[in-house]
Amino acid sequence: MPVIDFKCKKCGSEFFEIAAHDEQVECPKCGSNEVERVYKGKYYGKGNCSGNCSCCGGCH
């Protein structure tokens, strides 16, 4: 399973989990399940990956 970066919508904490793409994730700081995936791209110098390209081997 991949390591995925997340950000909690409730407390703003950023963290990572080893999880399947459709797995429900809980914030380790506040316990909220209102989290969003954070895309951190490193290709082509664009900074943040949209998650919809295939340049890095496929995020999805």
pLDDT at position 3: 86
Question: pLDDT tens digits for 8-49?
Answer: 999 999 999 988 877 889 999 999 999 999 886 654 444 555
SS (H, E, C) the chain: CCEEEEEECCCCCEEEEECCCCCCCCCCCCCCCCEEECCCCCCCCCCCCCCCCCCCCCCC
pLDDT at position 17: 92
Enumerate domains of the chain plus CATH numbers. 1-60 (2.20.28)
Handedness of CA 4, 15, 13, 31 (dihedral sign): positive
Q: 0.75 exceeded by the pTM? A: no
